[in-house]
Chain A
Amino acid sequence: MTRPVLEATALVKCYHGQQRPAVDGIDLVLQPGELIGLLGPNGAGKTTTISMLSTLMRPDRGTLCLDGVDAVSAPQNVRRLIGMVPQDLALYPSLTLAENLRFWGRLYGLKGRTLDQALEWCVDVTGLEAFTGRCIDTFSGGMKRRANLAAGIIHRPRILFLDEPTVGIDAQSRHQILTNLRHLNKNGMTMVYTTHYMEEVSQLCQRVVVIDEGREVVSGSVDSLLAAHPECDHLEDLFLKLTGKHLRD
């Protein structure tokens, strides 16, 4: 059996001044090339979980290993493996797409021909070849999202964290991004995907982890979960059944 790319055990995070932990004992194991969807209502602890998994935030308790390396005590040693596509646009709007991508590539030590090839690859994957010379602030919403994805993958990370990467864009752009992600995953990139769009998870993810109030509620493939709850026709029905219909914010 291959070594897991990510192995988190009993992760706990409690924010200062809060009595209840934001994340309370999450366990997660990701095999290489796996694409999982992290679902949960607002305030369920998705962002805190993804922040800890991506080493942005240090857990109060629990262990986290990325590619076999302890990511809690030495996050610097594993960050090269990680790619991040945050919900907010993580690009410089006044720079062109090429300038942005070159900047991120250089930060990861890419140079010369390697940098050029990486740039060509990521704009090709995201379908932005024709727009490398344009400033980001002239892009449409969908193009900005794809550019955000391109910047997250330029150094070819082993694990890609995607925090609601399709929020606020049209169906065509969403379709394009999901196609891009499927392509990347097919080529071996492991992904953790959070979203509120259930149909995206149904189409894309091999496994779903639903969390609420900082704890895992259920985990498994969409088909197996629906089979275990025959009263639910869709993932959204199941989600509402498991997390309730009351408003969270």
Chain B
Amino acid sequence: MLWPLWAVIVKELQLLRRDRGGLAVLFIMPVALVLVVCLVQDNILKTSGAAAVEVLVVDHDQSTFGPWLIAQLRQQGDVHLVVVGDERSFAQVQQQVACGDYQLGIYLAPGLSDALQQALDSQVRGALFPSASLPQTTMPSVHYSFDPAVQGGLRSGLTGLVQQVAQRRLAELRLQSFQHYLPKKVEHYVAQELGPMFAQALAQHPLELQLNGDNHDGLPVTPLASGDHFTMPTSIQHNVPAWSIFGLFFIILPLSTVMLQERAQGVFIRLQLVPGCALSLLIGRVIAYLMISLVQFVLMLSFGRTVLPLLGTDQLDLHGQVPGLLVISLCVALTACGFGLLLGVYARSSQQASLTAAVTIVIFAALGGIMIPVYLMPEVMQTVSAVSPLGWGMEAMQILVLRGGSLVETWPYLLRLLLCFSICCVLAWRGLRRRC
């Protein structure tokens, strides 16, 4: 049993070594996919907010509001501010943002701070002294414009951020205004209602108010990390594991092609006549292609850790989970081998097998969240995605790489992968036995 098994493993590796197309499918294609998708999505993540956002601030006000707004925005770690005070109009800002140079443009019109102060003073005086005749004022606006490519979530977030910062400034200025006018109102009230004696006493001990908003911290809102190494889902953290799984499944192509070529060339006739060969053939093939899959997976992870950062992307962070990832990749590769054996036994031709494999992998990849995360899919598709073996592998890897989980937490997905492999093997074995 062991010697024929060895024969099959050696033969499969020799065949693959001479199959340039198969090697390209197994090693070059997944690396190229990771490279292209990571670089492309690096830009997409900027528009969706997963990378630092470029914000242009044109400050024609040149007074108190601009510096304050800029200081507040700078406290947001994921915002890269470019502040200019030149002659650019709001229309020009809009145009520049629409070109994609910046994701957000903020325009502070001349006299914004003064107009804001006047409007608030007028509001406060109107509230404290209803009978006073006050000049008509209008609240000035902070103008902003988005890059049309900026997606909904980021757009809402940035709008909220600018509004929050502006409202906070408004509250501060309103408090300052109250601080200024409220003692006057009290003095006026005391003199009018309680008489001159109380007014004199109040003049000797004037009312002092300290309503500075800077001294009052807001309600702290703190995100909770799930584990010690909670990681933001960057392009690299998502794509390298995702496309590695995709690449692992492409092992189906050379595996099924070899089996079908054997049938077409007459090798299978001779194989059928070797006693006890069917089991050696199945197991030997699986072992050979598992070895290749592990090499491919390690290559992909190494690519994410060493080559991609040289091209300006983040570095893949594995959080010391390499053994766990190898176990998951082994389970994914087993499932892929199972599919390959099934196709190799039941497909009628190499063309049929290649087409079926390619279409199935792409559909399962789309369903499994390899191309877009599952949570972004419609509810129905999220339900359907539960049947994708690529999705099971993806979920298991995300538990380790993104959610800070342990290998034990991935067992439901590993179990599904192994169950799928077992079913494929049983069906392939039955088909092979029927022929032998």
A-to-B contact residues, CB < 8 Å: 54-56, 76-77, 79-80, 82-84, 86-95, 99, 102-104, 106-109, 111, 135, 151-152
Listed stretches B118-126, B270-278, B394-402; interface member: B270-278
A55 to B18 CA separation, bound complex (whole angstroms) = 33
Q: How far is the CA of A83 from the CA of B19 in the complex (A)?
A: 29
A87-B266, A90-B265, A91-B267 known; A82-B273 Cβ under 8 A: yes
Q: Is A79 a contact of B270 with CB atoms below 8 Å?
A: no
Q: Which of B1-39 contact A (CB under 8 A)?
A: 3-4, 6-8, 10-11, 14-15, 18-19
Report whether A106 and B4 are in contact in the complex, using a CB–CB cutoff of 8 Å: yes
- A91: B residues at CB distance < 8 A: 265, 267
- Give the distance in Å from the alpha carbon of A226 to the alpha carbon of B273 in the complex: 36
- The answer to whether B272 and A103 touch across the interface, beta carbons within 8 angstroms, is no
B139 within 8 A of A: no
Judging by beta carbons under 8 Å apart, are A109 and B4 in contact?
Answer: yes
Q: Is B280 an interface residue (CB 8 A)?
A: yes
Asked whether, in the complex, the Cβ of B267 is within 8 Å of the Cβ of A90, the reply is yes
Given A94-B18, A95-B15; A107-B7 close (CB under 8 Å):
yes
Task: List residues 219-270 of chain B with CB under 8 A from any CB of chain A.
Answer: 265-267, 269-270
| A77 to B, closest residue via Cβ | B275
Q: Which of B3, B6, B274 contacts A79 (CB 8 A)?
A: B274
Query: Which of the residues B3, B7, B276 comes within 8 Å of A76, measured between beta carbons?
Result: B276
Given contacts A107-B4, A109-B4, A111-B3, contact A76 B275 (CB under 8 A): yes
Contacts of B4 in A (CB 8 A): 106-107, 109
Contact yes or no, A56 B18, CB < 8 A: no
Tell me the bound Cα distance from A106 to B10 in angstroms: 10
Residues of B within 8 A of A99 (CB): 11, 14
CB distance from B46 to the nearest CB of A (A): 47
- Name the one of B18, B19, B274 contacting A107, with C-beta atoms under 8 angstroms: B274
Q: Among B7, B15, B18, B265, point to the contact of A88 (Cβ < 8 A).
A: B265
Of the A-B pairs whose beta carbons lie under 8 Å apart in the complex, a sample of 8, sorted by A's number, is: A84-B269, A88-B266, A90-B265, A92-B267, A94-B18, A99-B11, A107-B271, A107-B277
**Complex: how many Å from CA A95 to CA B266?**
15
**Measured CA separation A111–B11 after assembly (Å):** 15
The residues in B between 417 and 436 inclusive whose CB is less than 8 angstroms from any CB of A are: none
Closest CB-CB distance, A54 to chain B, in whole Å? 7
B266 touching A80, Cβ below 8 Å = no
Chain B residues with Cβ below 8 Å from A89 are 265-266
Q: Tell me the B375-423 residues at the A interface (CB within 8 Å).
A: none
Q: Which residues of B contact A152 (CB under 8 A)?
A: 270
Residues of A with C-beta under 8 A to B10? 103, 106
Main secondary structure on B side of the interface with A: helix
Q: A90-B269, A107-B271, A152-B270 are in contact. List 10 more A-B contacts (CB 8 A).
A: A54-B273, A76-B275, A79-B274, A84-B273, A86-B266, A92-B267, A94-B15, A95-B11, A102-B7, A109-B4
How far is A90 from B274 in the complex, measured between Cα atoms in Å? Answer: 13
With a cutoff of 8 Å between Cβ atoms, the chain B residues found around residue A80 in the complex are: 275
Q: How far is the CA of A93 from the CA of B280 in the complex (A)?
A: 21
Whether A109 contacts B272 by the Cβ 8 Å rule is: no
Q: Which of A55, A87, A90, A95 has the most chain B CB atoms inside 10 A of its CB?
A: A90
Is the beta-carbon distance between B276 and A90 smaller than 8 angstroms? no
Which of A77, A90, A94 meets B270, CB within 8 Å?
A90
Note all chain B residues with C-beta closer than 8 A to A55.
273
Q: Which residues does chain B contribute within 8 Å of A111, judged by CB atoms? A: 3
Kindly state the separation between the CA atoms of A90 and B272 in the bound complex, as whole angstroms: 11
| A94 contacts across to B, CB distance below 8 A | 15, 18-19
Q: Is the CB of A103 within 8 A of B7?
A: yes
In the bound assembly, the distance between CA atoms of A152 and B11 in angstroms comes to 17
Contacts of B267 on A, CB cut-off 8 Å? 90-92
* CB-CB under 8 A for A84 and B270, given A76-B275, A94-B18: yes
The minimal Cβ–Cβ distance linking B141 to chain A, given in whole angstroms, is 73
Does B3 contact A106, Cβ atoms closer than 8 Å? yes
| A95 near B14: Cβ-Cβ < 8 Å | yes
Beta-carbon contact of A92 and B15 below 8 Å:
yes
Q: Find out whether the CB atom of B270 lies under 8 angstroms from the CB atom of A104.
A: yes
Most B Cβ at <10 Å: residue of A87, A109, A151: A109
Q: Which residues of chain A are within 8 angstroms of B269 by Cβ–Cβ distance?
A: 56, 84, 86, 88, 90
Top 8 closest A-B pairs, CB basis? Answer: A88-B266, A106-B7, A90-B266, A94-B18, A90-B270, A79-B275, A86-B266, A103-B11
On chain A, the residues within 8 Å of B6 by CB distance are 106
Query: What chain A residues lie within 8 Å of B19 (beta carbons)?
Result: 94
CA A236 to CA B4, docked complex, whole Å: 44
Instruction: Select from chain A the residue with minimum beta-carbon distance to B1.
Output: A109
Chain A residues within an 8 Å CB radius of B272: 56
- Can you name the residue of chain A whose Cβ is closest to the Cβ of B435? A56
Q: How far is the CB of B421 from chain A (nearest CB, A)?
A: 25
Q: B274 contacts which chain A residues (CB < 8 A)?
A: 79, 104, 107-108
Residue of A nearest to B268 (CB): A90
- Would you give the shortest CB distance from B42 to chain A, in whole angstroms? 40
Residues of B within 8 A of A76 (CB): 275-276
Query: What is the CB-to-nearest-CB distance from A1 to chain B, in angstroms, rounded to a whole number?
Result: 28
**A107 proximity list for chain B (CB < 8 A):** 4, 7-8, 271, 274, 277, 280
Complex Cα gap A93–B10 (Å): 16
Distance in angstroms between the alpha carbons of A83 and B272 in the assembled complex: 11
Chain B's closest residue to A55 (CB) is: B273
B11 in contact with A92 (CB, 8 Å): yes
Which chain A residue lies CB-closest to B7? A106
Give the residue name and chain of the A residue nearest to B284 (CB): A107
